[in-house]
Amino acid sequence: MSRKSGASAIQRPARRGRLRDLRRLLAYTLKRLLALFVTVLVGVYLTIVIANMGGQVDELRRVQIRSEAAEAVRADPAFQDMPAEERNALIERQVALEVERLRLDEPFAVRSVDYLQQAMRLDLGRAEQMHSDRGSRAVYDIIVERLPATLLLFGTANLLVFFTSVFVALWLSRRYGSALDRSVVALAPTSAAPGWFYGIFLILVFAFVTPLLPPGGMVAVPPPEASWEYAASVARHMLLPVAAMFLSQIFISIYSWRTFFLIHSSEDYVEMARAKGLPSHTIERRYILRPTLSPIVTSFLLMLIGLWSGAIILEQVFNWPGLGSLLFRAIGYRDTPVIIGAVVIFAYLLAATVFVLDILYALLDPRVRLEGGPS
Amino acid sequence: MMGGRWGEGLRELRRYPSALMGLAIIAALVAISFYTVVAIPYSEALAQWRGGEVWQRNPVNAAPVWLDRLAGGGAPRTQVVTSAEAEVEESAFTGGRRLRIPLAFDYEAEQFPSELTLFLHARGHDQRPFVRLLWQTPDGREVPLGGYRIGAEERISLSQDRALERRLGGLVPHIGLLAEPGMTAERAAEAAPSVLPGRYTLLMDVLLFDEAARVDAELVLYGRVHGLAGTDHQRRDLSLALLWGTPVALAFGLLAAVGTTVTTLVIAAVGVWYRGWVDATIQRLTEVNMILPILPILVMVGTLYSTSIWLMLGVVVVLGIFSASIKMYRAMLLPIREAPYIEAARAYGASNARIVLRYLIPRILPVLIPTFVTLIPTFVFLEASLAVLGLGDPLLPTWGKVLNDAQSQSALYNGYYYWVVSPAVLLMLTGLGFAMLGFALDRVFNPRLRSL
């Protein structure tokens, strides 16, 4: 409505309108930022509580500390001929030291708030059990070490799926009803199975029945010296997992994009453009792709986020040293700092994406601007 | 009006061959589930899957029978020779009896058995009986297998008798005892030993120091194939797990899908109807839930609390309540809220609950059905995923647990492909069945797709 009044001849109201728009956009941005911040806060706190079983993990940890301390004292020849009471006192002292180091003597409620503010400041702390392959105990180092492997594998696969499906779908929507189109529609249900499931079959066929490719891992053992040989080895190891993900996602992806494009290409303005006799690639670019750009951008950004978390099972099945298997191991060790660290980073990335999307929508879609955004 | 729409939809569904195929698969799975639940009661399935005594007569890691048929046959099935069928010669001496029990059998299969074990049952003896074993081959050779003093329940693993293996020229007893004469380990390296077919006898010479008590013997020649699905490393029949996996998978998928869609839908409708802070709270909760990664949380719950399938189901439903689909339902419900018939309902004084449950929700149900059907396999696979990670239900046999066992026993590396393929095929069939039906339903009920 502000547009309509602003359009009336004189320039001043137009500028005022734009200013009002800007102010609204700013207020909207602040509101969204605050909401997202609270969201991340709540999400991370929930994760902290779950990862500590509401404090119950502490009991497990205390038992573990005691048994480890007792074992260490008993195994040390220096303490062999110490009297029993003295040895028990020594064990108690060591347990107390360790409990204090891990701050298990404080109530969980206090520590959870502490964990929360550390996590929000991205101060990820030190792992309790795990260490990176280089030996660092810092959670940051542990996560960063695994990041490239996950990004490489999932980045390759998802980018491949995304671009292939969008372009094939665009191409298919022009050949709607052809044999190829019908076969894609028929094949779409095969995507009900996740990537690891196809992975098992691919390993069976290509690694065991006909041993062409390695069944798992990221690089040959021992790793080749020359860098191009190393890259070739990694590529060979990537082939099966990428194929598994590609197989499990490509048909549903093409199907949904195709349906999406078909719905949009039956809009009246597209028919109009066609009636005007515009060439088909112009129609495609200007009349189909442009209005559908924001959903495409959305799903691209969400896909980028999905990349980061990796996939626990696919990495387990292919023995890929990425974040998914790191998270799985961390949960197995009950190493809460690592679990929380991984979730915090994921939450921040997701929140940042949602924020970028919100702003993008507000800029692209005038309806959002006027009504103060989709609440 | 509603009934007409449903009936019309179903009639239209008949035009899609994929929908009919999906329905057929689902019907078959449901039939299997009913058969399983009736034929093998729950408690019995759990007790059997725990393993042990029940499976003692099954071979280890035997392939399914049909696989052998496809490969041309020749693999032996398990053969059990019991003393009840044998002609026992009995002679008495002071202080006891002497029995000669010939356990005779014909061996015609082309391949050797996978294991050779003699089970002896001698109950109620004050003094333990003594048995001397003699192996007689069709061509008249005799191999003494040594003597044993036997307890109440004795299990003599002939296949693991190292001394006997040395005497047979280094061949494992279940091969050496049945091979053609003159075969040794060195020669077996050049040409695979072949079975000498014919009638074999295990002659048992038993000394009993009791007037009445009996001795029963069972010679088990473990086969290389077993039943429809084969066996695993604990001799368990895989068909039990594959059969019981069906109702478990269907129940898990269905309950999780119902639980998440219904609650999500009701909550979305409530938010749309009441607006204001209710709606805002629901929206914020949805956003929080989007940040929580579902699989890691399930893994955490599984590792830290319990891996019971029902707990997992509960967590899946709870995490699914405020799922991202709330936003989708909200978008669908918002225009309906302003529809004239809702206004009419308000005018006649319908309560809020009545409007939400009777007027808002039924309107978008048709659009929801396809989503619901396609959601089922997602949860079936989620259960399998958890089991593959080693977080399957501790008691129930499921498809995912079979896959996990296979993985941990390196089934693919050892060539037990059937172990991986059969649960995987069942999973795939379930996924395909529901997905095919769901996609067809989507095209029938989704008005924007109907013309496509």
Question: For residue range A21-43, what is the model confidence (pLDDT) as tens digits?
Answer: 788 778 888 888 888 888 888 88
Determine the average pLDDT of the residues in A161-190. Answer: 85
pLDDT at B448: 62
- CATH 2.60.120, applies to B76-222: yes
* Cβ distance of A47 and B299 shorter than 8 Å: no
Distance set, CA B146 to CA B71, B113, B154 (Å)? 38, 21, 15
Tell me where in chain B the CATH 1.10.3720.10 domain(s) lie.
Answer: 2-49+237-450
Token reading at B158: 């002939």
* Cβ distance of A193 and B305 shorter than 8 Å: no
* Cβ distance of A328 and B389 shorter than 8 Å: yes
Pairwise CA distance, residues B341 & B364, whole Å: 14
Shortest Cα–Cα distance, B166 to chain A (Å) = 34
Q: Homologous superfamily of B2-49+237-450 in CATH? A: MetI-like (1.10.3720.10)
CA atoms A200, A203, A206, A208: torsion sign: negative
pLDDT at B72: 77
Strand ranges (E), A290-341? none
Residue in chain B closest to A336 (alpha carbons) equals B300
Q: Tell me what percent of the residues of chain B surpass a pLDDT of 70.
A: 97
Q: Which residues does chain B have within 8 Å of residue A335's beta carbon, measured at their own beta carbons?
A: none
A vs B: CB pairs below 8 A: 130
Q: Of A47, A57, A342, which has the smallest distance from its Cβ to B292's Cβ? A: A47
DSSP string, B32-63: HHHHHHHHS-HHHHHHHHT-SGGGTTSPTTPB
* Cβ distance of A190 and B432 shorter than 8 Å: yes
Shortest Cα–Cα distance, B105 to chain A (Å) = 37
A13–B contact, CB cutoff 8 A = no
Q: What is the pLDDT of residues B406-431, one digit of tens each?
A: 888 888 888 888 888 899 999 999 99
pLDDT at B447: 64
* Cβ distance of B288 and A189 shorter than 8 Å: no
A95–B contact, CB cutoff 8 A = no
* Cβ distance of B291 and A266 shorter than 8 Å: no
Determine the average pLDDT of the residues in A234-259. Answer: 90
Shortest Cα–Cα distance, A348 to chain B (Å) = 9
Determine the average pLDDT of the residues in B295-309. Answer: 81
* Cβ distance of B301 and A194 shorter than 8 Å: no
Residue A318, SS3 per DSSP: coil
Q: Give the DSSP letter of residue B167.
A: H
Residue among B67, B291, B299 with most chain A CBs within 10 A, to mutate: B291
Determine the average pLDDT of the residues in B348-373. Answer: 84
Report angle CA A299, A300, A305 to the nearest 5 degrees. Answer: 95
Plot region of A367 (φ>0 → left; ψ -120 to 50 → alpha; else → beta): alpha
Tell me where in chain B the CATH 2.60.120 domain(s) lie.
Answer: 76-222
* Cβ distance of B304 and A339 shorter than 8 Å: no
Residue B135, SS3 per DSSP: strand
pLDDT greater at residue A298 or residue A156:
A156
* Cβ distance of B287 and A188 shorter than 8 Å: no
Q: What is the pLDDT of residues B38-66, one digit of tens each?
A: 998 888 888 888 877 778 888 888 888 88
Q: Which residues does chain B have within 8 Å of residue A187's beta carbon, measured at their own beta carbons?
A: none
Q: Of A43, A208, A259, which has the smallest distance from its Cβ to B288's Cβ? A: A43
A343–B contact, CB cutoff 8 A = yes
Determine the average pLDDT of the residues in A138-152. Answer: 86
Residue A237 pLDDT > 70? yes
Q: Tell me what percent of the residues of chain A surpass a pLDDT of 70.
A: 91
Among A210, A294, A296, A194, smallest CA distance to A247 is for A194
Determine the average pLDDT of the residues in B129-157. Answer: 87
Q: Of B280, B301, B439, which has the smallest distance from its Cβ to A188's Cβ? A: B439
The phi, psi pair for A237, rounded to 5°, reads -70, -25
pLDDT at B388: 85
Q: Position A258: which residue type? A: R
Q: Which residues does chain B have within 8 Å of residue A348's beta carbon, measured at their own beta carbons?
A: none
A 245-264 near B (Cβ less than 8 A): 259, 262-263
Q: Of B291, B300, B412, which has the smallest distance from its Cβ to A331's Cβ? A: B300
Pairwise CA distance, residues A216 & A204, whole Å: 11
pLDDT at A6: 41
Omega within 30 of 0 (cis) for the link into A222: yes
The partner residues of B96 in beta bridges, in order of sequence, read: B93
ipTM over 0.90: no
Shortest Cα–Cα distance, A324 to chain B (Å) = 9
Q: Which residues does chain A have within 8 Å of residue B296's beta carbon, measured at their own beta carbons?
A: 312, 327, 331, 339, 342-343
Q: What is the pLDDT of residues A41-89, one digit of tens each?
A: 888 888 888 877 777 777 777 888 888 888 888 888 877 777 888 888 8
